[in-house]
Amino acid sequence: MSDICSKCGLPQDICACRTLEKETTKQLRVYATKKRFNKLVTIVDGLTDDELFKVRKELKSKLACGGTAKNGLIILQGDHLDKVVDYIVSLGYPREAIKNLGLQ
Protein backbone atom coordinates (compact mmCIF):
# COMPACT_ATOMS: atom_id res chain seq x y z
CA MET A 1 0.00 0.00 0.00
CA SER A 2 1.36 3.42 -0.88
CA ASP A 3 1.71 6.34 1.50
CA ILE A 4 -1.21 8.63 2.23
CA CYS A 5 -1.01 12.37 1.52
CA SER A 6 -1.30 14.42 4.70
CA LYS A 7 -3.11 17.28 2.91
CA CYS A 8 -5.83 15.55 0.90
CA GLY A 9 -5.91 12.04 2.39
CA LEU A 10 -5.52 10.30 -0.97
CA PRO A 11 -2.78 7.78 -1.82
CA GLN A 12 0.43 9.40 -3.13
CA ASP A 13 -0.07 7.70 -6.51
CA ILE A 14 -3.18 9.75 -7.31
CA CYS A 15 -2.57 12.81 -5.12
CA ALA A 16 -2.63 16.10 -7.02
CA CYS A 17 -1.45 18.41 -4.22
CA ARG A 18 2.07 18.94 -5.60
CA THR A 19 0.79 19.67 -9.08
CA LEU A 20 -1.66 22.22 -7.71
CA GLU A 21 1.09 23.88 -5.68
CA LYS A 22 3.23 24.27 -8.79
CA GLU A 23 0.34 25.74 -10.78
CA THR A 24 -0.57 28.25 -8.08
CA THR A 25 3.03 29.25 -7.36
CA LYS A 26 3.98 32.88 -7.59
CA GLN A 27 6.08 34.25 -10.42
CA LEU A 28 9.50 32.61 -10.82
CA ARG A 29 12.30 34.90 -11.95
CA VAL A 30 15.34 33.58 -13.83
CA TYR A 31 18.24 35.89 -14.58
CA ALA A 32 22.01 35.97 -14.97
CA THR A 33 24.38 38.33 -13.23
CA LYS A 34 28.11 38.81 -12.78
CA LYS A 35 29.72 37.87 -9.50
CA ARG A 36 33.33 37.86 -8.36
CA PHE A 37 35.99 38.08 -11.07
CA ASN A 38 33.30 38.79 -13.72
CA LYS A 39 32.01 35.21 -13.63
CA LEU A 40 28.40 34.73 -14.75
CA VAL A 41 25.90 32.99 -12.49
CA THR A 42 22.28 32.07 -13.19
CA ILE A 43 19.79 32.82 -10.42
CA VAL A 44 16.32 31.32 -9.91
CA ASP A 45 14.11 33.28 -7.52
CA GLY A 46 10.56 32.67 -6.30
CA LEU A 47 10.53 29.04 -5.12
CA THR A 48 9.31 28.02 -1.68
CA ASP A 49 11.72 26.49 0.82
CA ASP A 50 10.27 23.01 0.26
CA GLU A 51 10.87 23.17 -3.49
CA LEU A 52 14.21 24.97 -3.33
CA PHE A 53 16.51 22.05 -2.60
CA LYS A 54 14.73 19.56 -4.88
CA VAL A 55 14.83 21.91 -7.86
CA ARG A 56 18.45 22.86 -7.13
CA LYS A 57 19.51 19.22 -7.13
CA GLU A 58 17.72 18.54 -10.43
CA LEU A 59 19.13 21.64 -12.14
CA LYS A 60 22.69 20.96 -11.00
CA SER A 61 22.43 17.40 -12.26
CA LYS A 62 20.90 18.27 -15.64
CA LEU A 63 23.19 21.25 -16.33
CA ALA A 64 26.35 19.59 -14.97
CA CYS A 65 27.32 22.68 -13.03
CA GLY A 66 27.92 23.73 -9.47
CA GLY A 67 25.46 25.73 -7.46
CA THR A 68 23.83 26.42 -4.14
CA ALA A 69 20.49 27.31 -2.59
CA LYS A 70 20.42 30.04 0.04
CA ASN A 71 18.25 32.99 1.05
CA GLY A 72 15.41 31.75 -1.17
CA LEU A 73 17.57 31.73 -4.33
CA ILE A 74 19.13 29.01 -6.44
CA ILE A 75 22.53 30.19 -7.67
CA LEU A 76 24.03 28.15 -10.52
CA GLN A 77 27.55 28.64 -11.85
CA GLY A 78 27.57 29.73 -15.49
CA ASP A 79 25.16 31.25 -17.97
CA HIS A 80 22.28 28.76 -18.34
CA LEU A 81 19.27 31.06 -18.85
CA ASP A 82 17.44 29.25 -21.67
CA LYS A 83 18.24 25.76 -20.42
CA VAL A 84 17.07 26.55 -16.88
CA VAL A 85 13.67 27.73 -18.10
CA ASP A 86 13.22 24.55 -20.17
CA TYR A 87 14.21 22.29 -17.27
CA ILE A 88 11.93 24.08 -14.82
CA VAL A 89 9.03 23.61 -17.25
CA SER A 90 9.90 19.90 -17.52
CA LEU A 91 9.66 19.68 -13.71
CA GLY A 92 5.99 20.65 -13.96
CA TYR A 93 5.95 24.42 -13.53
CA PRO A 94 3.87 26.38 -16.06
CA ARG A 95 5.89 28.40 -18.59
CA GLU A 96 3.65 31.42 -17.95
CA ALA A 97 4.84 31.55 -14.33
CA ILE A 98 8.53 31.79 -15.33
CA LYS A 99 9.93 35.18 -16.22
CA ASN A 100 13.31 35.24 -18.01
CA LEU A 101 14.88 38.59 -17.15
CA GLY A 102 18.14 38.04 -19.06
CA LEU A 103 21.47 39.49 -17.98
CA GLN A 104 21.36 42.04 -15.18
CA 3 to chain centre: 25
Please give the mean pLDDT across all residues of the chain.
87
Residue 38 within a domain: yes
Residue 9's SS3 state is: coil
**CATH code, domain with 35:** 3.30.780.10
User: Cα separation of 96 and 90, whole Å?
Assistant: 13
Residue 63 within a domain: yes
Helix, strand, coil fractions of the chain, as percent rounded to 5: 35, 30, 35
Residue 58's SS3 state is: helix
Residue 58 within a domain: yes
Q: pLDDT tens, 81-97?
A: 989 999 999 988 888 88
Q: pLDDT tens, 8-64?
A: 888 888 887 777 766 665 789 999 999 889 999 999 999 888 889 999 999 999 999
The residue range of the domain holding 87 is 26-103
Q: What's residue 97's pLDDT?
A: 85
What's the order of all strands across the beta sheet hosting 40-45?
A: 67-70, 73-77, 40-45, 28-34, 98-103
**pTM reported for the whole predicted model:** 0.76
> How large is the average pLDDT for residues 55-79?
93
Residue 1 within a domain: no
Structurally, how many domains does the chain consist of?
A: 1
Residue 2 within a domain: no
